[in-house]
């Protein structure tokens, strides 16, 4: 897909700003703090961060990763998340062109990144990502007409039901909570973007990646690596490559 370079630059700029907002979400949502107030300030000297020190990536580089006033180090997480979201938005536009699918890809990728980082750090998936993402997924599906909306609702229902069943079985088997409610809500959100077949592929890929990475890492670190991280990876792969993988699988089943 050939896209005007100016549009790609605009997508990059927009993605960087969305990434800057995602940083605020990553820091504040797990602590139940407002996303709007108070404005960002240095955690040590409490100096409010001026707009010129809040330009994605650039400000962090100019300030060499330190607060302008007290020289307190500023986490490299900020520019890394900004760059990652910038790349997601450029990638979505480059792959899908100026379409609703590109917007869906960009928003879905951003939400999944937020979920993965938050779940890895805090072992929780805030409702803002899951319920908020579900509303976005269902809303965007309306642009595909009734059938698009029906697919999204079926996907959300399948995601919810499948993870709910897995959580119940886990509870009976291990007598403890194997999977949090966050994972269940997350898969409802994922289903609204990728449909019910996509839900199955996401859980399959998540479990596959999980057992390849999750189990050895959990044993080594002696602590659980949250499953939401792998579901997020599986969901992103499904969004981009799902149709190809499912078509290949069906072809394989027919034995030719």
Nearer to Zn ion by Cβ, of 63 and 208: the residue is 63
Nearer to Zn ion by Cβ, of 68 and 95: the residue is 68
State the nearest-atom distance from the C-beta of 5 to Zn ion, in Å: 38
Nearer to Zn ion by Cβ, of 50 and 150: the residue is 50
Q: Distance between CA atoms of 150 and 26, rounded to whole angstroms?
A: 32
136 Cβ contact partners less than 8 Å away, ≥ 6 residues apart: 107, 111
72 Cβ contact partners less than 8 Å away, ≥ 6 residues apart: 42, 43, 44, 45, 66
Nearer to Zn ion by Cβ, of 25 and 74: the residue is 74
Residues in the site for Zn ion, rule: CB under 5 A?
42, 44-45, 67, 69-70, 72
Count of C-beta atoms within a 10 Å radius of residue 168: 12
Q: Distance between CA atoms of 220 and 236, rounded to whole angstroms?
A: 26
State the nearest-atom distance from the C-beta of 51 to Zn ion, in Å: 16
State the nearest-atom distance from the C-beta of 27 to Zn ion, in Å: 15
State the nearest-atom distance from the C-beta of 52 to Zn ion, in Å: 15
State the nearest-atom distance from the C-beta of 62 to Zn ion, in Å: 15
List the one residue out of 131, 152, 82, 134 whose CA is nearest residue 110.
82
Span between the terminal Cα atoms of the chain, in Å: 30
């Amino acid at each position: 897909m050939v896209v005007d370079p100016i549009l790609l630059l605009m997508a990059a700029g927009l993605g960087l700003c969305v990434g800057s907002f995602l940083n605020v979400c990553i820091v504040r949502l797990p602590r139940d703090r407002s996303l709007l107030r108070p404005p960002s300030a240095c955690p040590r000297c409490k100096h409010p961060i001026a707009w010129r020190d809040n330009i994605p990536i650039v400000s962090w580089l100019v300030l060499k990763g330190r607060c302008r006033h007290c020289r307190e180090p500023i986490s490299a997480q900020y520019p890394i998340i900004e760059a990652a979201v910038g790349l997601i938005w450029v990638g979505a536009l480059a792959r899908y062109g100026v379409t609703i699918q590109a917007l869906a890809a960009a928003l879905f990728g951003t939400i999944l990144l937020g979920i993965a980082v938050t779940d890895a750090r805090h072992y929780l998936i805030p409702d803002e990502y899951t319920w908020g993402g579900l509303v976005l997924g269902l809303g965007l599906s309306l642009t595909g007409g009734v059938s698009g909306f029906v697919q999204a609702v079926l996907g959300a229902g399948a995601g919810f039901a499948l993870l709910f069943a897995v959580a119940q079985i886990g509870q009976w088997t291990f007598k403890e909570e194997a999977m949090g409610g966050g994972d269940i809500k997350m898969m409802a959100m994922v289903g609204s973007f990728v449909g019910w077949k996509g839900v199955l592929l996401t859980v399959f890929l998540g479990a596959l990646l999980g057992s390849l990475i999750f189990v050895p890492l959990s044993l080594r670190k002696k602590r659980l690596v949250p499953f939401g991280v792998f579901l997020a990876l599986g969901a992103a792969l499904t969004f981009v490559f799902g149709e190809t993988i499912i078509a290949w699988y069906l072809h394989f089943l027919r034995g030719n």
